[in-house]
Amino acid sequence: MALGRTAKYYRENPDARKKHQETSKEAAAKPEAKRKRAEANKARKKLGIPKGSPMDASHKNGTIVKEHRKKNRARGGALKK
């Protein structure tokens, strides 16, 4: 699979890559982020979504439902940019 635009940028700019990794690490260590990951893992377990599955725990109408990963992440598509 070909590299995306962002991946290419960080491969070509090691200083930017290092800074990005540091800020991502800080963001992931925040209590809110840990809580959000724990909730997501709990929802996946409740829905019976195994590791490596093409399914996602998707937020729809205020509830969490099982939905194909591609459909869930594509929602909004070009509008997200």
Q: Each residue of 10-42: pLDDT tens digit?
A: 999 999 999 999 999 999 999 999 998 998 899
Q: Taking the CA atoms of 2, 14, 20 and 18 in sequence, report the sign of the dihedral they define.
A: positive
Q: 30-78: per-residue pLDDT in tens?
A: 999 999 899 889 999 999 999 899 999 888 888 889 999 888 888 766 6
Taking phi over 0 as left and psi of -120 to 50 as alpha, with beta for the rest, 48 belongs to: left
Reported confidence tier of residue 79, pLDDT bands at 50, 70, 90 = low
What are the start-end ranges of the E strands in 1-76? 55-60, 63-68
Q: Which residue has the higher pLDDT, 79 or 68?
A: 68
Those residues with Cβ within 8 angstroms of residue 56's Cβ, 6 or more apart along the chain or in another chain: 49, 66, 67, 68, 69, 72, 73
- pLDDT at position 19, please? 98
Residue 55 and residue 9: Cα distance in Å, rounded? 29
Mean per-residue pLDDT of the chain: 90
